[in-house]
Amino acid sequence: MAVEELDGRLAHSTIRPNPGEGAPSLYLSVLSGRHFLQIPGPTNLPERVLRAMDRPVVDHRSPEFAELLPRIVPLLRQVFGTDAGEIIIMSGSGTGGWESALVNTLKPGDRVLACNNGQFGLGFGNAARRLGYEVEELALDWGQEVRPDDLERKLRVTPEVKAVLVVHNETSTGVTSDIGAVRGAMDRAGSEALLLVDTVSSLGSIEFRFDDWRVDVALCGSQKGLMMPPGQAYLCVSPRALDISQNGGGAPRNFLDWAPMLREYARGLFPFTPNTLMLFGLREALTMLVEEEGLPNVYDRHRRLADAVRSSVQAWNLSMMCEKPAYRSNTVTTVLVPDGMDGSAIVEHARSRFNMSLGVGVGQSRQRAFRLGHLGSLNELEVIAMVSGVEMTLREMGLPVSLGAAAAACERSFVAA
Ligand code: PLP
């Protein structure tokens, strides 16, 4: 019997028959159990979040709907680490968040400094360029954090910069930059630029301190640490950025304009038709993160899980793209593959053999790497299953890894912790 005939689901998947002997029985294993979604976002949804969204569509002008925002906004404020910031919730994704941050605060032609230490730093800068801003680039080695000294030096020679664009957690390389240190470098350079920060793969998993670091706009998507499906973007806006936006600053905009959003939010409503059901899910996810587990515990869980993943990578004798341990991300690990090996082939093998999605290398590390996502709704036993799946994949791809090494490394890491 051909594998494709075993179950209708296969016809819609990318799963291909293994040319090796006994292939059908291997592939039978992908028909049961759950898919392991271990890309660095979108992430797995808790059942409770799914159930919260599983309801009839509501009238988005009804009293029932208007109860959602007054509950969600204070919880999102806590996740961003702000008292003073205004929260924006819109349909879209991280890319839409970039655009929203830019067009609400900067006039066409304004000069911005984009910190490029990975694919998303590059992308944030490219978005600004396409929107008509003059983009200066702080070009850094990929795999490196945004170094405050480099930034300070660059700002001293480009004092006219109106905004600094930086990615808190670079999802392509697995590097978390120190945003407090970035703000410190701006202060030392005497820069009055706005600080615009992408928190797409950090928010809700790695601590963010919007007020303490005097961030002007932070932006995020729903589909990573916040344990939500893709489809929404969230921003946090400082009083200064809001003032610029509402008093003639920014670029022409319509859907992305913060002013009508904030006006309507005050009544619990939106100036456009929002993704209503997602908001029920968001209320549930934020309740779980902020009120039940508690943000300090959420951040600590991500650190513990990431430590275990890193100890597994070391057990395989592979290197991480982020060389300096202090900047290694607690949400994504980018693993470099040995010369002659193709990172995408590893990802493809894990998917077809073990029903597990891993991230491919992107940008400069395409083919040279694969990425392990360890964020959102995730626990210790799931991490052990993930690294065991990766280890078996590596072994089947011909890498001399010891079977059981990763699980043992994780267990040591968890039990000692
Ligand atoms: N910024 C970062 C750090 C990301 O990881 C991503 C996507 O993975 C984006 C921006 C783009 O976000 P989206 O794909 O939600 O538009």
For ligand 1, atom 5, name the residue with the nearest CA.
171
At 12 the pLDDT is 35
Q: Are 168 and 220 in contact (CB under 8 A)?
A: no
pLDDT of residue 6: 36
Atom of ligand 1 nearest to the CA of 221: 15
- What's the CA-to-centroid distance between 95 and ligand 1, angstroms? 6
What CATH topology corresponds to 47-290? Aspartate Aminotransferase; domain 2 (3.40.640)
Query: For residue 377, what are the contacts with CB-CB under 8 A and spacing of at least 6?
Result: 43, 44, 45, 46, 49, 227
* CATH number for the domain running over 33-43+294-416: 3.90.1150.10
Predicted TM-score of the model (pTM): 0.94
pLDDT, residue 417, reads 61
Only one residue has tokens 């030096």, namely: 153
Nearest CA residue ID for atom 10, ligand 1: 94
Ligand 1 pocket, Cβ-based, cut-off 6 angstroms: 41, 93-95, 120, 167, 171, 198, 200-201, 221
In ligand 1, the atom with minimum distance to the C-alpha of 96 is: 16
Degrees to nearest 5, angle at CA 304 with 298 and 310: 135
- Residue 32's pLDDT is 82
Cα 172 to Cα 119, 318, 373: the distances in Å are: 6, 17, 11
Nearest residue by C-alpha to atom 12 in ligand 1: 94
Q: Taking the C-alpha atoms of 145, 301, 208 and 288 in order, what is their torsion angle to the nearest 10 degrees?
A: 150
pLDDT at 28: 52
CB-side neighbour CA atoms (13 Å) of 190:
5
* Whole-number pLDDT of residue 4: 37
Q: How far is the CA of 120 from the centre of ligand 1 (A)?
A: 7
Name the token pair of 287: 């309740």
Number of other residues whose CB lies within 10 A of the CB of residue 13: 14
**Probe ligand 1: pick from 100, 171, 371, max atoms within 8 Å of CB?**
171
Per-run averaged pLDDT (10 residues), the chain, 417 residues: 35 43 50 91 98 97 97 98 98 98 98 98 98 98 97 96 98 98 98 98 98 98 98 98 97 98 97 98 98 98 98 98 97 96 97 96 92 98 98 97 98 88
Going from the Cα of 223 to the center of ligand 1, the distance in angstroms, rounded, reads 9
Domain boundary assignment for the chain: 1-32, 33-43+294-416, 47-290
Determine contact, residues 136/111, Cβ cutoff 8 Å. Answer: yes
Give the number of the atom of ligand 1 that is nearest the alpha carbon of residue 171. 5
Q: Which of 37, 43, 95, 371 to mutate to test the pocket of ligand 1 (most atoms within 8 A of CB)?
A: 95
**Cα of 94 to ligand 1 centre, how many Å?**
5
